[in-house]
Amino acid sequence: MAEAYIVEALRTAGGRRGGALAGWHPADLGAEILDALVARGGIDSAAVDDVILGCVSQVGEQSFHVGRNAVLASRLPDSVPAVTIDRQCGSSQQALHFAAQAVMSGTQDVVIAAGVESMTRVPMGTPFILSAKAGLGEGPWSRRIKERYGVAEFSQFTGAEMIADKYGLTRENMDAFALDSHRKAAAATESGAFADEIVALPFTRADGSEAVHDWDEGIRYDASPEGMAGVKLLREGGRVTAANASQVCDGASGVLVVSERALKTHGLTPLARIHALAVTAGDPVIMLEEPIPATRRVLDRAGLDLGDIDLFEVNEAFASVPLAWLQATGADPARLNVHGGAIALGHPLGASGTKLMATLVHALRARGQRWGLQTMCEGGGIANATIVEALA
């Protein structure tokens, strides 16, 4: 089978709700990533065979095919096609899988996998909320589904609490993990670790002055155990709070994936090779536990052991997710989310998959390490897992 290579991996800095990226239309936000991937990758934009873009809330400004609209807003020629996909929080990681599969199959040579989500302009849950207000049908889960699983709804918040119960995690465990996420993200920012992966964007401050957004707004540099402990529980009697869960975030990200033939034809230099892909599905009620079997499957497909992996990126949807993953896999915590995660950096839903991949690839190369594994929980009890090999 042909190989698939990552030539460039980029993201915007995370924007808080109502923050630096709030003035950016999602199509334009995605367009900036597409343009930057082509420019920094050093390839003619007309050579792009396809754009696969993940987005979760496909309504309002993210409706009517935001993937194609991002191409139309970019400097890419309108001959470049696009498709918009939704695998919930793993949408752009799945976009990367589809891009890799297209290249590995030999049917395409240059594919951009990307994602975008403006959670300021299109808040999470907007499609469901608008449908319910309009009285349109039963909602996303039919009576048959709810009867099969014995629930009135499927909730990620319920899933996060269920995982904490199953793995014996306390609020103190989760708060400590969250605090560490902020500290690692702060250290990474201050050291310039994110510099090569961030696409800086202009914005207008509230006072009318112009500025450049090139740092993640969600990081709390003054985070403390006392501050974490003071945050209200999301549910009475639970353990999950806004402090130990991922932050609402605006952002876009993307990865330029090419074949070996494209490397030679266009004189490109790869950053990494995509080594193994997996996607698994399980219990949709606990929902967020699936990265554990996905990790096992992708390692098996790769012919690697957990100890072979130098760095892990496990999305911090809630602190209970990576903590349960650590407990179940026995992975080294020192190799996990070394620059912090979504608790500090934000979780722009459809953009998070390629966002994490950008961070993973650049972190591996900066450290002179070889193998990286990325996985993330997704609505419906699904998880993608990807192993990449960093190249010198």
213 is catalytic: no
Residue 280's alpha-carbon distances to 17, 146, 377, in angstroms, are 31, 21, 10
Alpha-carbon dihedral angle through residues 4, 355, 278, 107, given to the nearest 10 degrees? -30
342 touches 316 (CB < 8 A): yes
CB 271 within 8 A of CB 51: no
Residue 210, burial from CB neighbour count under 10 angstroms (0-12, 13-18, 19+): exposed
Q: Is 347 a catalytic residue?
A: yes
Residues 6+ apart with CB under 8 A from 322: 177, 314, 315, 316, 336, 337, 341
- CA 262 → CA 76, 97, 269, 381, distances in Å? 18, 18, 10, 36
Handedness of CA 237, 243, 249, 253 (dihedral sign): negative
Residue 167 structure tokens: 């793995």
Active site residue 377: yes
Q: DSSP code of 350?
A: G
Beta strand spans in 236-301 (E): 250-259, 272-281
| Catalytic annotation, pick one of 55, 89, 182, 362 | 89
> Catalytic: which of 97, 182, 339, 347?
347
**Angle of helix 26-41 relative to helix 66-73, nearest 10 degrees?**
60
How far is Cα 158 from Cα 284, in angstroms, rounded to an integer? Answer: 11
Q: Which of 213, 339, 362, 377 is catalytic?
A: 377
CA dihedral for 343, 382, 12, 274, sign (positive or negative): positive
> Alpha-carbon Rg of the chain, whole angstroms?
20
Which active-site residues does the annotation give?
89, 347, 377
